[in-house]
A and B are shown apart, each in its own frame.
Chain A
Amino acid sequence: MAITMTTAAINHISQQIASRGKGVGIRLGVKTTGCSGLAYVLEFVDDAAPEDKLFEQGGVQLYVDPKSLVYLDGTELDFVKEGLNEGFKFNNPNVKGECGCGESFSI
C-alpha cells in the first residue's frame, strides 16, 4: 500500500505549509458524497490521528486514514498548471468512473 507525490506536488506543498506558518503535513482522503459517490479530501494537518498512515517523501509528511487508503492505494498526487488554473490532481488507478467535472468519482 503506497501513495506517491510528484516533485511539483512536493514543492508546492512545502511552499504552502511554509506560507501558512503552521501544520505538520497534509492529509489525503476520500469521503462519500457528490454525484459519483466519492470525493477527494486534501487538507492541511495540524494534529495527526493515531490511526493515520504516514507517507513521507522529500520532507513532506502525507497522512491518510486507513479507510481512505483502500480507495487511494497506488495514487500519485501531482501539481499541475492548466492555462491560468493550477492545483492538485489525483492519478488514482482505482477510479472506474468520474463525474463530468471530475470533482467526484466512483470505484
Chain B
Amino acid sequence: MALLQISEPGQSPKPHQRKLAVGIDLGTTNSLVAAVRSGSPETLADEQGHHMLPSVVHYQTGGVRVGLEAKQQAAEDPENTIISVKRMMGRGLHDIRQQGNYSPYRFVDTDGMPNLLTCTGEINPVQVSAEILKVLIARGKASLDGDLVGAVITVPAYFDDAQRQATKDAARLAGIHVLRLLNEPTAAAVAYGLDQRQDGVIAVYDLGGGTFDISILRLSKGVFEVLATGGDSALGGDDFDHCIAEWIMLQAGLKAEALSTSEQRSLLSIACKAKEALTNSNEVEVNFLNWSGLLQREECDDLFRPLIQKTLRAVKRALRDADLNVNEVDEVVMVGGSTRVPAVRHAVSTLLNREPLISIDPDRVVALGAAIQADVLAGNKRSDDMLLLDVIPLSLGLETMGGLMEKVIHRNTTIPIARAQEFTTYKDGQTAMSIHVLQGERELVEHNRSLARFVLSGIPPMVAGAAKVRVTFQVDADGLLSVNAQELSTGIESTVEVKPSYGLSDELISSMLQDSYQHAQDDADQRNLKEQQVEAERLLEAITSALAEDGHLLATEERLHVDREVAQLQQLAEGEDADAIKQAIEQTAKITDEFAARRMNAAVSKALSGHSIVDFDTEEQQ
C-alpha cells in the first residue's frame, strides 16, 4: 500500500490527490534535492545515504555517470568529466575562455555556444546540467513514490535572463516542469521562515566549495527585493583547504612540485579533515607522509584571515551598493559548508554586529527553502499561507535614438509583470522599426547587456511621429522575458522571446550594478548630450524637409539666414557641448518660427481655396 505522511490538522490530502514537488539546489560544486514530508522540509538521500550529489558528469561510451562516481573519474579522464558546469550556463565561448580555468575541455564553437567535445560527441552545458537534474528528479520520484508535478530550482541572484533561461531549458531537457526559478538567497531566507515577517533587511552570506556570494535582500510586504549582490566566483572552502595544505608543506619542509598527484590529493583531503576537526576542537593532530604535528585553532584562524577579509570587503561593498550601513541589517543568514568555520562566523557577526542564523545545516538550507516554496506552488498549502514574490534583478528596456537605453521595467519590480510603452517613428515614411532589447542600469546602450533584436516591419508610411508602436515587455514568474511590438493603426505585430544570448563575463555581471552607481554622473551627462543631439537632428530633419517643400516662401536673404543657422547647429550637434547644442536649438527654432508661420498660412489658404469663410462659419454653427 501507499505510505502515508503526517499532514497539518484538517489538511489530509484526498487519495490520489497528493501533489508531489521538490526543491532543487543546482550548485556549482554540489547539488541537492529536498521535499516537504509530514510538514517539514528535508533533503533526500540516495541508496547509499548520500544527500549531496557532486555536480560532476562523466561521459563514456557506455553511458553517462553523475555524482560521486563521475567525480572519481576527474583525475583520470579529465576531458570527459565535466565539473562546475554551472559556470558555463548561458555563457558564450568567449566568456568561458576569459574565465580561464577550463583547460581540460575541448570546446567546439557552435554559433558562439560553448559546446564540449567528449568521447560521446558534442554536448552543451544545458545538456550536462540536465543530466544532474535527471538524477535528482529520479531520486525525488523514488523517495516520494510518485510522479512530481514540478520542481523549484534555485539560481544565484545575479543570474541574468540568459542564464535563467539556460537553467530552465536544462529542466525541460530533464523532463521536469519548473514551478519557479528562485533566487538562492531568497530560498535560504525562506528556509528560516523570514518571509513570514513583514519587513526587514537580510544579508545572505554564502561561502560554498568554490564560490562566495553576498546578497542583500529587503523584504517588504512579502516581497523580496535584491538590493545588491557581490562576491568572488573563485573563492570558497577549497581555498581554505589549500591554506592548511601549504602550512603542512611548510612545516614538513616539502615542496608541492616534489609530490605526486596522488600525494597532493591526499594532502588536500588531510587538510580538509583538519579544517573540519577544528570546527569543534581547539587543536588537531595532522599526519602527512612521515611528518606529524599539531595545528592550533588560533594558528589556523591566522591562515584563513586573508581569505575571510576578502569576503568581508565584498560584504561592505554590497552594503555600500545597497546604500545601507551595517546596523540596518536585521538578519544574517549563513549558507554553504564553509560557514561552519568558527573564524568565518566570528568575523561575520563582528562586522554586521549581530549573531548570524546558523541553526539550519548551511549545506542544505537553500534546497530546504526551495522545497518549502515547491510545496506551496504545488498547491499543498492554503494559498493565503505564503505568496512569495520575486523581483527582476536588472532593469529591462530598449534602445532609443542616439544609443540611449529607455527603461521599460525597472529593476526590483515584482514579477510576474507586463508593462507597455508607446514609441513612434522618427522619420517621414518610416516603414520599419528595429527593436533592441536591453538589460542593465546604465544610460548608454553599449554599457548594458544586449538581450535580443527584432524588427517590426510593415508600418504604413506616415509623417514622423504619427505612427504609434506599442512595445510590451512581459516577465513571467521565473524572470523570463518576452517582448511584443505592435503598430496600433494596422495591428501588425512582432514578438520575441529572449533566448540565451551570450557575451558577458562573470565579473561584468556582478559589477554591472556597481558600475551604474559609480558612473551615475557621467551617465547623466552623456544622456543629456545624446538627448540634445537627437533633438538637434530631429529639428534639422524637419527644417530640411520643410525647405524642400516650401523653400519658395522665404526671400533670398531670409533663406541665407536660415541656412547659416542650420549649418551652425549641424556643426555643434557633432560636438560634445550639450549646453551649446541646446542654445543653438532654441535659436534655430526661434529664427524658423516666422517660416513655420508662413507655411501654416500657405497651407490654410490652400485648404480654404474654393470655399468662402461663410461656409466654415455655417458648419461651426450647426
Contacts and interface: CB of A to CB of B under 8 A. Distances in A.
A104 interface: yes
Interface string A7-47: 00000010010011000001100010111000111111110
Contacts of B143: 84-86
Contacts of A20: 39-40
B38 A16 contact: yes
B15 interface: yes
A84 B6 contact: no
A2 to B, nearest CB: 20
Contact of B8 (A43, A82, A99): A43
A43 B3 contact: no
B139 A84 contact: yes
A42 B16 contact: no
Interface in A59-107: 80, 82-90, 98-99, 101-104
Query: Which has the most chain B C-beta neighbours within 10 Å: A19, A31, A82, A103?
Result: A103
B149 interface: no
B302 interface: no
B3 A19 contact: no
A104 B17 CA distance: 12
Contacts of A80: 3
A27 B9 CA distance: 8
Interface residues of B, number: 28
B545 interface: no
B12 A31 contact: yes
23 contacts: A13-B6, A16-B38, A20-B39, A26-B6, A34-B16, A39-B15, A40-B4, A42-B12, A43-B7, A43-B8, A45-B9, A46-B9, A83-B142, A84-B45, A84-B139, A85-B143, A86-B3, A87-B145, A88-B6, A101-B2, A102-B1, A103-B15, A104-B15
A87 B139 contact: no
A20 B193 CA distance: 13
Q: Which 3 pairs from chain A and chain B are nearest by CB?
A: A102-B1, A87-B3, A103-B15
A88 B2 CA distance: 9
A101 B3 CA distance: 10
A103 to B, nearest CB: 4
A31 B14 CA distance: 9
A97 B3 CA distance: 17
Contact of B3 (A16, A89, A104): A89
A36 B6 CA distance: 21
B10 interface: yes
B1 A43 contact: no
B47 A84 contact: yes
Interface of A: 13, 16, 19-20, 26-27, 31, 33-35, 39-46, 80, 82-90, 98-99, 101-104
Contact of B39 (A16, A82, A85): A16
A34 to B, nearest CB: 4
Query: Which has the most chain A C-beta neighbours within 10 Å: B6, B44, B145?
Result: B6
Contacts of B39: 16, 20, 44
A42 B15 contact: no
A43 B11 contact: yes
Given A84-B45, A87-B3, A88-B3, A41 B12 contact: yes
B40 A16 contact: yes
Interface of B: 1-12, 14-16, 37-40, 44-47, 139, 142-145
Contact of A42 (B6, B44, B139): B6
A46 B16 CA distance: 26
Contacts of A101: 1-2, 15-16
A102 B146 CA distance: 13
Given A34-B14, A43-B11, A103-B15, A84 B5 contact: no
Nearest to A77: B4
Nearest to A46: B9
A37 to B, nearest CB: 10
Nearest to A86: B3
Nearest to B5: A87
B7 A84 contact: no
A73 B144 CA distance: 28
A87 B4 contact: yes
Query: Which has the most chain A C-beta neighbours within 10 Å: B5, B16, B45?
Result: B16
A19 B40 CA distance: 7
A103 B16 contact: yes
A89 B5 CA distance: 9
A69 to B, nearest CB: 17
A60 B14 CA distance: 25
B142 A88 contact: no
B35 to A, nearest CB: 11
Nearest to A33: B14
Given A40-B4, A44-B8, A89-B3, A84 B16 contact: no
Contact of A102 (B2, B38, B40): B2
Given A31-B12, A43-B8, A85-B3, 10 more contacts: A13-B6, A33-B14, A40-B4, A44-B6, A82-B145, A87-B37, A88-B6, A89-B4, A101-B16, A102-B2
Contacts of A33: 14-15
Given A19-B40, A27-B9, A46-B9, A88 B15 contact: no
A88 B5 contact: yes
A82 B144 CA distance: 10
Contacts of A99: 15
Contacts of A41: 7, 12
A43 B39 CA distance: 10
Nearest to B138: A84
A20 B44 CA distance: 18
A100 B4 CA distance: 15
